[in-house]
Structure 1
Amino acid sequence: MNATAPLAGIRVLDLSKILAGPYVSQALSDMGAEVVKVEHPDGGDPTRKWGPPFNGPDATYNLAVNRNKRSITLDLTTEAGRDVVDRLLERSDVVIDNFRPGSSLARAFHGPQLVERHPQLVALHISAYGESGPLRDEPGYDMVVQAAAGLMSLTGEPDGPPVKAGFAFGDLGAAMWGLTGVLAALVERARTGRGKYVSTSLYESQLAFHASFATGYFATGQNPPRLGSGHPSLVPYQAYPTADGHLVIAVGNNAQWRALCTALNRPELAEHPDYATNADRVDHREEVNRVVARALRANSSAHWSDLLKQHGVPVAPVRTLAEVYRCPQTTALGMVDSVEHPVVGELEQIALPVTFDGQRPRPRTAPPTLGQHTREVLESLGYDQDEIARLLDGRAPGGPGQN
């Protein structure tokens, strides 16, 4: 453990699975917290099998969000499993769960009750739809909530079907708000000495990210249309085809519009009365986009990218992941690091996107194999070797099952 890390000394018990909760606990671990991840003996976190692709015994999905953690296997429906968790809670600062509302595990590990029994705890619960309302008991996967919370209605081409975001924006959005809530509660605990119950959901987080889309709807009562890569309030501001790929141009003011017209060798467009202001260009969106697209098709993405940068126009090629991870900017930032995995050897990971005094935290340990640290954690909790043996082979009353 790095004793100088921002969250050094903070202990986290992760009872969650899939993506949102584990993403929160990994972020906390990257900032120095010690994390124990509890998994069911029968297969563990389902994402271990969410492949291909796999890297060693586990899917790469699971390897993305579980570094710097210790994995223990427990059956939380048993008395012995709950006893182990109770001992862990006594020494934990944060506990994270995403148990489905109304389930037996949600009742057994209800956040407010945990904080009442362990006043030092910050208990984070992440759900699909929140803790009240007609959908509160519904299960939720990322794409389901992207649909229910409106994101898919905003994503896709105007004449095409609704499309989900390319990555799990619902889960990751809830993770970001959950992380924010945990960190705020820890700050408050430092002042008051008492923990707090924190709750968020995929649905609430998606609504928060509507931002200007919501205020636009509140003002007009009109549903925003799907615009592909376009922007509802700025034109030209989208991806355009070039001779060999696609290029994003983001014109945010009239000076940039004039610069774009000059770079495209169409200076007369800057003076055209239909395009003079951004509001004019939004009103004539299709005409402006046709003119820009026609010009860009004449040359390569690299040509236009260089030229437009020279003219001060915000621009970027649409890169593949292979291009992103070869990009000198990615290398310069140190956003890819590696850690030694006990099965697959060197394992590349995306680093924490935050630096502290200019230093980016490095991964300390690889994502654990299932139950890798069960014996070690049980010993630290005071279980003797006979008790551990009974727990591991399932002979304890209500034991946690095979490690």
Structure 2
Amino acid sequence: MKGSLDGIRIIDVSRVLAGPFCSMILGDLGAEVIKIEHYISGDETRGWGPPFVNGESAYYLCANRNKQSMTLNLKTDEGKKIFYKLVSSSDVVVQNFKSGTLEKMGLGYSQLKMKNRGLIMASITGFGSTGPYKDLSGYDYIIQAMSGLMSITGEVDGSPMKVGVAITDVLTGLYTCIGILSALQFRNKSGEGQEIDISLMDCQVSSLINVASNYLCSGVTPKRMGNQHPNIVPYQVFTAKDGDLVVAVGNDEQFKRFTAVLGRPELAEMEEFFHNENRLVNKEKLIAICEGILSEKPKKEWKEQLDAAGIPNGPINTVAEMFEDPQIKAREMVVELEHPLIDNLKLTGSPLKLSKTPVTMRHHPPLYGEHTESLLESIGYNPEEIKKFKQNNII
């Protein structure tokens, strides 16, 4: 069965994570993705590790399935001609060079749209194409710091903390994917392409959601709350007899059921705890009561009782424990791909479960330059020309 983006060709000249993550999602949905890599070094993540598996970086493997890899020297006239040829028959270009870099090379959107009126270019930068920071490099860690995310992450009395994954890159990849799908829909109606100007900073600020809204509405600067929620109580980590679990009581009705599970139904009738706003005011007293009760039984027992009562909860799993969870297995969140160097390559599955056009895992994360020759042949170059490209450091 063909994917929903079958027939769409993506040229991906991005590196590291945000752009490659975006193009991988598009590839999962059926698009043809051509990953253009530097003719000497390739995507930086190919060298990021350990771990490496038979020479392949686990970091690189995580964001590059369903792609073909082609090496190309974009600083040469011949390399640019090849790129123009590819673009003329493609739908989308994804790039994350610093602002203005591709324009100086003659490969910016204004130049490429002359070759292809319907071209969509998604330009990912740290800070966008406008503003005083437009020429600065942007890295996930720096954006987590500057966006305010780190200021609200960590223990109350501890240091600011980054999130355990490059969450800004991931969110930017998702926003870029949304932008591309929107631009494709517009092109279907108008025949015109467009450029998508998307920045890590903008995406992370947008993703502060209620925390940002709380500040904009109140003027009060948010602070770190550890594992507590700024607006809801009880909604945090608790320590059971044998480990930690999260309990998330989202409304007053759930709180009534929660107190019944605790064996203290009278708490829900007390004025100081009756409504969430009261619980916020008196949270220290309430949390102390909950902590004392929850510490008396193992987390598995609490989970069974809380699940039965419809109270959102869950143990704090390690990554290893998560992958052994029967729900993860049932949802096929681990997939195996054939790979020329790695036996039984395992990758994280896709969360997109489409009933008519399901996600497909068609290609392993490509080896460096694995498809250079076949792609050049597909756009009209013969073996002798390809041989000269290699001799002249074009590929």
Q: If the TM-score is normalised by the length of the shorter chain, which range does it land in? A: over 0.9
Check the 8 A contact 2:84/2:112 in 1, yes or no.
no
In structure 2, stretches of 5+ residues that fail to align are none
Which range moved further: 324-333 or 109-118?
A: 109-118
The separation in 2 between residues aligned to 1:92 and 1:194, in whole angstroms, is: 13
CA distance in 2 between partners of 1:118 and 1:72 (Å): 21
Tell me which of 352, 355, 368 is aligned to 2:353: 355
Matched residue, 1:400: 394
When the two structures are superposed, what TM-score results if normalisation uses the length of structure 2?
0.97
Post-superposition CA distance 1:225-257 (Å, at most 9, x none)? 111121111000011111222111111111111
Tell me how far 1:19 sits from its aligned partner. 0.3
Contact 1:111–1:125 (8 Å) recurs in 2:
no
Q: Specify which of 28, 37, 40 is matched with residue 39 of structure 1.
A: 37
Counterpart in the other structure of 1:163: 161
- For 1:1-400, list aligned pairs within 5 A: 4-103=2-101, 107-357=105-355, 360-394=358-392, 399-400=393-394
Pairwise CA distance, 1:299: 1.5
Shift of 1:51: 0.5
* Deviating more after overlay: 237-246 vs 370-379: 237-246
Instruction: Report the Cα distance in structure 2 between the residues aligned to 1:246 and 1:67, rounded to whole angstroms.
Output: 35
> In 1, Cα distance between the equivalents of 2:386 and 2:5?
30
Equivalent-residue separation in structure 2 for 1:336 and 1:106 (angstroms): 42
Residue 386 of structure 1: CA displacement? 1.1
State the Cα distance separating 1:105 from its structure 2 match.
Answer: 6.7
Amino acid across the alignment from 2:379: L
Which string of whole-angstrom CA distances, capped at 9 and with x for unpartnered residues, describes residues 104-163 of structure 1? 676532223322431121110001111111111111111110111111111111111111
Q: Is the 8 A contact 1:76 1:105 kept in 2?
A: no
Q: Work out the CA distance in 1 between the residues paired with 2:166 and 2:185.
A: 29
Percent of aligned pairs sharing the same letter = 38
Name the SS of the counterpart of 1:338 in structure 2: strand
Structure 1, residues 9-56: CA drift from partner, whole Å, max 9, x if none? 101100000000001111111011111101112221000111111122
- Structure 1 residues 76 and 295, CA, compared in 2 at 3 Å: closer, same or farther? same
Q: 1:385 to 1:107 in 2, by over 3 A?
A: closer
The question of whether the paired residues in 2 share the 8 Å contact of 1:189 and 1:195 is answered with yes
Q: What's the CA shift for 1:178?
A: 0.5
**Mapped contact 2:259–2:265 kept (Cα < 8 A):** yes
- State the Cα deviation string for residues 337-392 of structure 1 (Å, max 9, x = none): 11101111221122221122166423111001100111101111111111100112
Q: What is the Cα-based RMSD across aligned positions, in Å?
A: 1.5
2:244 is aligned with what amino acid? H
CA distance in 2, matches of 1:104, 1:113: 9
- What is the TM-score with the length of structure 1 in the denominator? 0.95
Displacement of 1:327 in angstroms is 1.1
Name the CA distance, whole Å, in 1 between partners of 2:89 and 2:17.
25
Give the secondary structure class of the aligned counterpart of 1:6. Answer: coil
Partners of 2:266 and 2:376 in 1: how far apart?
75
Report the more deviating stretch, 169-178 or 282-291.
Answer: 282-291
Alpha-carbon distance between aligned partners in 2 of 1:100 and 1:70, rounded to the nearest angstrom: 24
SS at match of 2:15: coil
Structure 2 CA distance for aligned equivalents of residues 106 and 165 of structure 1: 35
Segment of structure 1 superposing worse, 270-279 or 351-360? 351-360
The 1-side partners of 2:156 and 2:104 are apart by 42
Question: CA, structure 1 residues 108+295, in 2 after alignment: closer, same or farther (shift >3 Å)?
Answer: farther
- Preserved contact between residue 45 and residue 59 of structure 2 (Cα < 8 Å): yes
Cα separation, 1, equivalents of 2:358 and 2:191: 30
Q: Residue 99 of structure 2 contacts residue 128 of structure 2 at CA under 8 Å; is this kept in 1?
A: no
3-state DSSP of counterpart to 1:36: strand
Distance in structure 1 (CA, Å) of the matches to 2:357 and 2:216: 43
Kindly provide the amino acid, as one letter, of the partner of residue 41 in structure 1.
Y
